[in-house]
């Protein structure tokens, strides 16, 4: 019998890589997509011809849309990767962020509890939950959490709800606290993709400059295709738990920018400006993860910082017209 999985957020960066991974492992896969006014399936268009891949319109804030699909599919595994995932935007749409990233998670957990309690559930938790924890890095599963954004607060509430369903109802409700992870499929409003696209367009003579916000923040950047492998591994454990997924290296935004421009032979200082419109009301100045726990069950990152920068630039140099 094929394993059956549902992925929410299948059109996103991680959702698309997770879909490829599960299909390659022989799953029957069901992806949830939002209805939008224009096409948003670019990352998964190549999967539609696969007879084991099915998609549905659903929204995490719309319980009936979720319960219909869950009761029909009765999945072995539910990967909850859907979210309003942009930290800066969460300050502008805080209510929607909590409705999607917290109530949306509650909706899935409640439906699973009542209709399909044996389904394994994965919640996409975030290092943004650590915020400014008041202890020195690196951060692990026991580090206190002090989120600095509506996004971080919403994810932390969902993290606790996941724990409550695990402890209180005995459900397989598991989670990974993933540090930033990137790829050519990263959305264009996140800093790495914004930089890699701009570098390619500047090099091709299609753009003059790049406007950014805080260049001093530090992030622990990993590679999305490797991070979805970690998620799958977390779901295959005997018991649900909490795992930090990170590279254990941190770099400033400025270092990413320098490396990106240097890779195509340009001096970043000639092109990069800063503007306060990209500054957040609260910032998380430093993220650095300690992935010792997940390493013990067999996952470790391979792509290094420079590999990630170069892979993103090389992709955008070859596809400068992509959105």
Q: Which is nearer to ligand NAP, 19 or 202 (CB)?
A: 19
183 near ligand G4F, rule: CB under 6 A: no
Question: Among residues 69, 165, 59, which one has the least CA distance to residue 113?
Answer: 165
Length of the chain (residues): 323
Total residues at interface with ligand NAP (CB under 6 A): 26
280 near ligand G4F, rule: CB under 6 A: yes
61 binds, among ligand G4F, ligand NAP, none (CB under 5 to 8 A by kind): ligand NAP
Terminal CA-CA length for the chain: 39
x-or-dash string of contact with ligand NAP, 56-75, rule CB under 6 A: ---xxx--------------
9 near ligand NAP, rule: CB under 6 A: yes
- In the chain the beta strands, taken as DSSP E runs, fall at 4-8, 28-33, 53-57, 77-80, 120-126, 173-178, 181-182, 210-212, 218-219, 222-223, 242-245, 251-252, 272-274
Dihedral over Cα of 43, 48, 50, 55: its sign: positive
Q: In the bound complex, what is the minimum distance in angstroms from residue 199's beta carbon to ligand G4F?
A: 14
Task: Find the part of the chain contacting ligand G4F (CB under 6 A) among 123-131, 163-171, 224-232, 263-271.
Answer: 123-131
x-or-dash string of contact with ligand NAP, 122-141, rule CB under 6 A: --x-x---------------
| 3 state SS of 208 | coil
Task: Find the part of the chain contacting ligand NAP (CB under 6 A) among 82-90, 136-144, 197-205, 234-242.
Answer: 82-90
CA–CA gap between residue 303 and residue 153 (Å, rounded): 30
Give the active site residues.
Answer: 126, 128, 151
18 near ligand G4F, rule: CB under 6 A: no
14 near ligand NAP, rule: CB under 6 A: yes
Reading the block at residue 209, the tokens are 């400059």
């Amino acid at each position: 019998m094929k394993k059956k999985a549902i992925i929410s957020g299948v059109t996103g960066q991680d959702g698309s890589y997770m879909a490829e991974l599960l299909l390659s492992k022989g799953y029957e896969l069901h992806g949830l997509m939002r209805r939008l006014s224009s096409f948003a399936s670019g990352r998964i268009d190549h999967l539609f011809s696969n007879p084991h891949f099915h998609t549905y319109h659903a929204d995490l804030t719309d319980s009936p849309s979720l319960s219909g699909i869950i009761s029909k599919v009765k999945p072995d595994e539910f990967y909850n990767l859907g979210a309003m995932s942009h930290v800066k935007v969460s300050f502008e749409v805080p209510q929607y962020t909590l409705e999607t990233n917290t109530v949306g998670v509650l909706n899935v957990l409640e439906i699973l509890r009542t209709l399909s309690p044996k389904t394994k559930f994965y919640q996409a938790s975030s290092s943004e939950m650590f915020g400014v924890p008041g202890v020195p890095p690196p951060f692990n599963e026991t580090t206190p959490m002090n989120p600095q954004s509506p996004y971080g607060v919403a994810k932390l509430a969902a993290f606790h709800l996941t724990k409550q369903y695990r402890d209180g109802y005995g459900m397989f409700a598991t989670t990974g606290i993933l540090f930033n992870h990137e790829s050519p499929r990263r959305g264009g409003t996140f800093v790495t993709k914004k930089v890699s696209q701009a570098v390619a367009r500047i090099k091709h003579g299609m753009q003059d400059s790049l406007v950014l916000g805080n260049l001093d923040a530090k992030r622990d950047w990993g590679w999305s295709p490797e991070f979805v492998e970690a998620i799958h591994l977390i779901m295959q454990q005997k018991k649900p738990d909490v795992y930090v997924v990170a590279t254990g290296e941190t770099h400033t935004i400025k270092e990413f920018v320098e490396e990106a421009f240097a890779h195509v032979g340009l001096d970043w200082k000639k092109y990069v400006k800063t503007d306060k419109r990209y500054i957040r009301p609260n910032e998380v100045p430093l993220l650095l993860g300690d992935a010792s726990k997940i390493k013990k069950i067999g996952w470790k990152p391979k792509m290094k910082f420079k590999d990630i920068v170069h892979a993103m630039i090389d992709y955008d140099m070859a596809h400068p017209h992509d959105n």
